[in-house]
């Protein structure tokens, strides 16, 4: 007998999501795909080792025919996805859900991944909030009595982002046919519960079940997702191709397989997104031991106009439009400060410049992390798109990007400063502490930060230490120096009795200061969540 069982005590509303039928569907998903997921994760390790040992990424010779075939196209946008010029991103807590639906954006990336700290309450609560929102039953009241309700006549199309293949959901346990018990796949859990409860309601409302797929590293991982989609559509009585996916190109290896990723998902693909921060993290992670040529400067100096980032985005737009897919631009995470209008005006000018570049390059839409940025972003895309919903017809035949250009850091000015080191320590520590308290989208130094920011920060610290980088001021970056900066940051913090800075400090040491390099900081950090064991209960058989 196969089953999915809970390892947590009951919660008043969790049974509305964790129904016997929903858990049985999850069990069947795991029976079909859990083993293949594990195979893909093992293949990641092999590929990463090859890069560490000196093998440069390349466009795959064995898939050349797919890239050179000009005939095939993807399914493209489903109902409600034709115009995506501004998408707001954010976690699925109840207040954010209401604010996102009222925001005026064309779409909402409802995030169970990098902007959500995966406490069990957040994960199941997020599913409840999405279910209520899709049925028009969402509202929110603060302890002070302030009420939030959806008042917009036209709400954004919801695009849900599940957690990546590398993560588990330890509050659910999968028992396979051989009797082996393992934590459930976080990806299959997030996807399966959302699809099971909402697909038919979304279709009845004139839209559909749409997903952002994070952290894919190659086209074989895309093939796995496509098989998950096809199997799930059949199991739930949905027409083939009902599900639509936008794939985040946020790993360096995926940048070399954009055509192939779209091809594998062609019956379900709507577009690609330039996940800029995770992309930079992936480049550092995979090349951290490859010498000084792969060292990057202070994080705020890595702009979208540096050559290797420019090559990445130009190739993404060209690839998408060649295949009839949307190209969605990167995040603007600035938080407007009404108490400092001059600083806000300067920041909004930078946001406008960034979105003007994206729209001019051919992107069909973009991301913002705060509702107050929507008008600024929309104005830049309106100026280019006019009344058109997108600019997929702009093919960009003049773009030609080589493998060398995607990896060429030789022209980048690589200044690292004492302030850059201190900023990475501070941001990583404060974000991890927020994450441990259950807040995955954290306001830090005027920006809305998620896990990608902490990943860049800690990976740069690790690389700078191991490559013996010297700052512009003449400071050699060593473990001792970073320890000193960590001590200073901790000393300056406004501590409270219930903060999680002690745990955050230990995690930061583990992921940035030890010889080993965890592939994602959220994996060791997740160990700090306790599982509340439920009374024994009968498993739900598939």
Catalytic pick from 83, 259, 361, 450? 450
DSSP per residue, 14-57:
GGGTS-HHHHHHHHHHHHHHHHHHHHHHHHHHHHHHHHHTTPPP
450 is an active site residue:
yes
CA distance 230 to 269: 12
83 is an active site residue:
no
Calculate helix-pair angle for 418-436, 451-466, nearest 10 degrees.
Answer: 140
Question: Residue 502 corresponds to which tokens in the numbers above?
Answer: 């002690």
Alpha helices per DSSP H over 437-530: 451-466, 479-492, 501-508, 522-526
- CB-based contacts of 52: which residues, under 8 Å, 6+ apart? 286, 289, 290
Give the number of other Cβ atoms within 10 Å of residue 443's Cβ.
15
Calculate helix-pair angle for 451-466, 479-492, nearest 10 degrees.
Answer: 140
CA distance 205 to 542: 30
CA distance 130 to 509: 36
| Whether 533 contacts 9, CB under 8 Å | yes
Cα–Cα distance list, 261 to 201, 336, 390, 446 (Å): 29, 36, 22, 35
Could you tell me if residue 390 is left (phi over 0), alpha (psi between -120 and 50 degrees) or otherwise beta?
beta
Catalytic pick from 94, 161, 276, 430? 161
DSSP state of 515: S
Could you tell me if residue 448 is left (phi over 0), alpha (psi between -120 and 50 degrees) or otherwise beta?
beta
Active site residues: 161, 450
């Amino acid at each position: 007998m196969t089953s999915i069982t809970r390892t947590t005590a009951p919660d008043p509303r969790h049974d509305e999501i964790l129904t016997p039928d929903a858990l049985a569907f999850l069990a069947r998903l795991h029976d079909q795909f859990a083993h293949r997921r594990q195979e893909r994760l093992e293949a990641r390790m092999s590929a990463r080792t090859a890069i560490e040992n000196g093998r440069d990424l390349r466009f795959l010779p064995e898939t050349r025919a797919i890239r050179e075939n000009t005939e095939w196209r993807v399914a493209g946008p489903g109902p409600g996805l034709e115009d995506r010029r501004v998408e707001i991103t954010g976690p699925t807590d109840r207040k954010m859900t209401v604010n996102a639906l009222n925001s005026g954006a064309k779409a909402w990336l409802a995030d169970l991944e990098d902007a959500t700290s995966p406490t069990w309450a957040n994960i199941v609560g997020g599913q409840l909030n999405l279910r209520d929102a899709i049925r028009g039953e969402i509202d929110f009241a603060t302890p002070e009595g302030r009420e939030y309700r959806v008042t917009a006549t036209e709400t954004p199309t919801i695009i849900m982002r599940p957690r990546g293949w590398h993560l588990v959901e330890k509050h659910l346990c999968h028992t396979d046919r051989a009797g082996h018990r393992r934590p459930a796949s976080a990806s299959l859990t997030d996807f399966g519960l959302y699809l099971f409860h909402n697909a038919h309601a979304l279709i009845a409302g004139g839209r559909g079940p749409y997903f952002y797929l994070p952290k894919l590293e190659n086209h074989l991982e895309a093939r796995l997702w496509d098989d998950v989609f096809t199997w799930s559509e059949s199991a739930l009585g949905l027409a083939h191709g009902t599900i639509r996916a936008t794939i985040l190109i946020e790993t360096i290896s995926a940048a070399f397989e954009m055509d192939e990723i779209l091809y594998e998902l062609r019956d379900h693909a709507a577009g690609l997104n330039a996940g800029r921060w995770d992309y930079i993290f992936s480049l550092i992670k995979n090349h951290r031991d490859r010498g000084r040529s792969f060292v990057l400067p202070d994080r705020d100096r890595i702009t979208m106009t540096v050559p290797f980032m420019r090559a990445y985005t130009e190739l993404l737009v060209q690839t998408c439009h060649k295949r009839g897919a949307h190209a969605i631009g990167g995040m603007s995470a600035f938080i407007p400060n009404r108490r400092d209008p001059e600083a806000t005006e300067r920041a909004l000018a930078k946001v406008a410049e960034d979105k003007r570049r994206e729209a001019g390059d051919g992107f069909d839409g973009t991301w913002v992390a705060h509702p107050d940025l929507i008008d600024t972003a929309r104005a830049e895309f309106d100026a280019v798109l006019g009344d058109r919903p997108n600019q997929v017809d702009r093919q960009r035949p003049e773009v030609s990007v080589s493998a060398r250009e995607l990896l060429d850091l030789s022209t980048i000015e690589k200044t690292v400063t004492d302030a850059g080191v201190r900023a990475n320590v501070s941001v990583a520590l404060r974000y991890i502490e927020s994450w441990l308290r259950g807040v995955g989208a954290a306001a830090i130094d005027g920006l809305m930060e998620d896990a990608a920011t902490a990943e860049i920060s800690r990976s740069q610290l690790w690389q700078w230490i191991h490559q013996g980088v010297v700052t512009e001021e003449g400071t050699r970056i060593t473990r001792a120096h970073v320890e000193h900066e960590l001590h200073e940051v901790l000393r300056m913090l406004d501590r409270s009795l219930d903060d999680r800075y002690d745990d955050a400090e230990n995690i930061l040491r583990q992921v940035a200061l030890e010889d080993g390099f965890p592939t994602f900081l959220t994996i060791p950090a997740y160990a700090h969540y306790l599982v509340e064991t439920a009374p024994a209960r009968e498993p739900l058989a598939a």
